[in-house]
Amino acid sequence: MFEIRATDLAGRIGEIRTKSGSLETPCILPVVHPVRQSIEPKEMEKMGFKAVMTNAYITLKVFGKIAEEKGIQKIIDYDGIIMTDSGGYQVLEYGSVEVNPVEMAIFQERIGSDMALVLDTPTGMGVDRKRANETVKTTLKAAEETLKVIKAEGTLWVGPIQGGSYLDLLKKSARLTGKMKFDLFALGSPTEVMKSYNFNLLTKMIITVKKALPVDKPLHLFGAGHPLTIPLAVALGCDLFDSASYMLYAREGRYMTDYGTLRLDELTYLPCNCSICSKYTLKEMKGLESEERTKKIAIHNLNVLSKEVKATKQAIEDGRIWEYLGIKARAHPKLWEAFKLLIDHYEFLEDGTPLFKPRALFFYEPYDLMRPEALRHHKRLIEDISIASEKKTLLILPESDITPFHKSPFYIKLVDALGDALKEIQICFLALPFGIIPVEISDVYPLSQYVNSIELDRYAIREMLKRVREFVSKYSFEKIILLGNLDSYSPIFKRMAKVIKNCHVIDALDDNFDKMAEEILMDIAKAKS
Ligand SMILES: [Zn+2]
């Protein structure tokens, strides 16, 4: 039913097979009103939207039995894939609905939904713990009741996860729902979280739920139709999104851009080339009568969302979702804050990060030291790899511009000067994004396929120092020599010489390799005596 084709961080490109065709994920489903819909779903299909979401509860209220006879595709005049929401939003908005989960389940199967949602009780935000716990319990009960009555022929069923901002409740909800026989899962009610740009909380919510759910099932994130939310949520493993925002924003005259939304009044240009923006000038757009203008902005907004999903998918294919997220995160300080949270979830993100990527990795700032590929090298070095540990001396050289490092002229000349003494010496490089790199593995990906511009600030020095200490404490080197010829490395080397036992720096300012070798050998002799 769900096949994963490519992954990066916790993000993935997959395919969901429904009875109306397959759907490549990540994917955004525009929300379509079953009655009042100003952009025809057929128009959306032409724009490349292969699936939409509509409301089964409103369909039941308005069409009743007729909907069962005609089927949901005819009701909204769309022959693509349809996900139906079952009235949970109405519960959140009006307190309750006049149907029960069993009736809604049977109705959704009868109208032929491709993907159908259990009638849940959304937790919402700002509720007390007792109320949140009740919504989790009611939702779990609704999920059980639904699974009992469905025939499960054709329709894929979505298990709802509730708990709001109470992470322990979310975890419980995900763990219990995750054990039930659902085809997909959905994380409920983050709309308010998104409205207040609380990306920090959103990140914690998604990670909590993802860790508790089976990895081989898709996760839908409710109400995340914002160009800034999509890359973050995809990188954390959300596969499906719905958007009513394209229309809600348009009604308020809010125009989406790649980096957030702006009011039409705030714009000087239309910074976009979609079918709408290449046809109208800003002046013409403002001159349209209100309903027409809303529709035009809504189409533009859909284009922006669709473009964002495509760009995020391409970033996964390129193995650059981390870099992409870093760029997007700079669009808003609160997104930046959320991006930094990722460094606390190494295992969660490392799992889906490929060992080999088609391109060099880019490192920009100290937090990039914690991206899975950099930390993975260090962890493997400490936990899995064993270098020739009988060597008594560790010689650390700074990274060179030439990669792999063993091809750098400095290394070659030094090795030549050291001659036979090399048998006793383990040579490693200190490379900023990774830590210690033994020369033997310096050409393994990504140790020689990266571009780095991280500044050696206090954070970076502390992290590098930590990695060096973990490395040296694994072996029993009698002497550690730092050949410090690069100014940029002096702060690390100075700190290392202070805090690491038997460690000392040899100045390598000149090009006299015989002299350097002589000093190194003298040092080794001193250690022995
Ligand atoms: Zn546009």
- Summarised one tens digit per residue, pLDDT across range 129-170 is 999 999 999 999 999 999 999 986 899 999 999 999 999 999
- 275-298 tens-digit pLDDT: 999 999 999 999 999 999 999 999
CA distance 174 to 186: 9
Q: 505 with 493: CB under 8 angstroms? A: yes
- Predicted local confidence at residue 413, as pLDDT: 92
Query: Higher confidence at residue 338 or residue 519?
Result: 338
Kindly indicate the confidence band of residue 9, based on its pLDDT and cuts at 50, 70 and 90.
Answer: very high
From the CA atom positions of the chain, what is the Rg in Å?
29
Provide mean pLDDT across the span 109-122.
Answer: 95
Q: Is the per-residue pLDDT at 329 higher than 80?
A: yes
Query: How many angstroms separate the alpha carbon of residue 524 from the centre of ligand 1?
Result: 68
Sort strands 425-431 and 435-438 into parallel, antiparallel or unpaired. antiparallel
Q: 446 with 360: CB under 8 angstroms? A: yes
- Predicted local confidence at residue 495, as pLDDT: 86
Q: Is the per-residue pLDDT at 120 higher than 60?
A: yes
- Predicted local confidence at residue 395, as pLDDT: 94
Q: 283 with 335: CB under 8 angstroms? A: no
Q: 78 with 54: CB under 8 angstroms? A: no
Q: Is the per-residue pLDDT at 126 higher than 90?
A: no
Q: Is the per-residue pLDDT at 486 higher than 60?
A: no
Query: How many angstroms separate the alpha carbon of residue 285 from the centre of ligand 1?
Result: 11
Question: Cis before residue 26, ω within 30 degrees of 0?
Answer: yes
Q: 87 with 55: CB under 8 angstroms? A: yes
Query: How many angstroms separate the alpha carbon of residue 279 from the centre of ligand 1?
Result: 9
Provide mean pLDDT across the span 361-371.
Answer: 94
Q: Is the per-residue pLDDT at 228 higher than 80?
A: yes
Q: Read off the tokens for 224.
A: 């995340």
- Predicted local confidence at residue 12, as pLDDT: 98
The count of C-alpha atoms lying within 13 angstroms of the C-alpha of 251, restricted to the half-sphere facing its C-beta, is 6
- Predicted local confidence at residue 189, as pLDDT: 65
Query: How many angstroms separate the alpha carbon of residue 184 from the centre of ligand 1?
Result: 32
The residue length of the chain stands at 529
Closest among 252, 248, 256 to 229, alpha carbons compared: 256
CA distance 297 to 246: 8
Query: How many angstroms separate the alpha carbon of residue 55 from the centre of ligand 1?
Result: 27
Q: Where is mean pLDDT largest: 44-48, 138-142, 521-525?
A: 138-142
Query: How many angstroms separate the alpha carbon of residue 120 from the centre of ligand 1?
Result: 36
* Residue written as token pair 């970076």: 460
pTM of the model: 0.94
**Which amino acid, 368?**
D
Query: How many angstroms separate the alpha carbon of residue 296 from the centre of ligand 1?
Result: 9
- Predicted local confidence at residue 194, as pLDDT: 80
- Full DSSP string of 141-173: HHHHHHHHH---SS-EEEEEE--TT-HHHHHHH
Query: How many angstroms separate the alpha carbon of residue 354 from the centre of ligand 1?
Result: 35
Range of lowest pLDDT (94-108, 177-191, 312-326): 94-108
Q: Read off the tokens for 350.
A: 């490392």
- Predicted local confidence at residue 290, as pLDDT: 94
Which residues are within 5 Å of ligand 1 (an ion), measured at CB? Answer: 272, 274, 276-277, 300
Residues annotated catalytic, as ranges:
85
Query: How many angstroms separate the alpha carbon of residue 252 from the centre of ligand 1?
Result: 16
CA distance 454 to 447: 15
Query: Higher confidence at residue 358 or residue 90?
Result: 358
* Residue written as token pair 């033994």: 438
% of residues, the chain, pLDDT over 90: 76
Kindly indicate the confidence band of residue 509, based on its pLDDT and cuts at 50, 70 and 90.
Answer: low
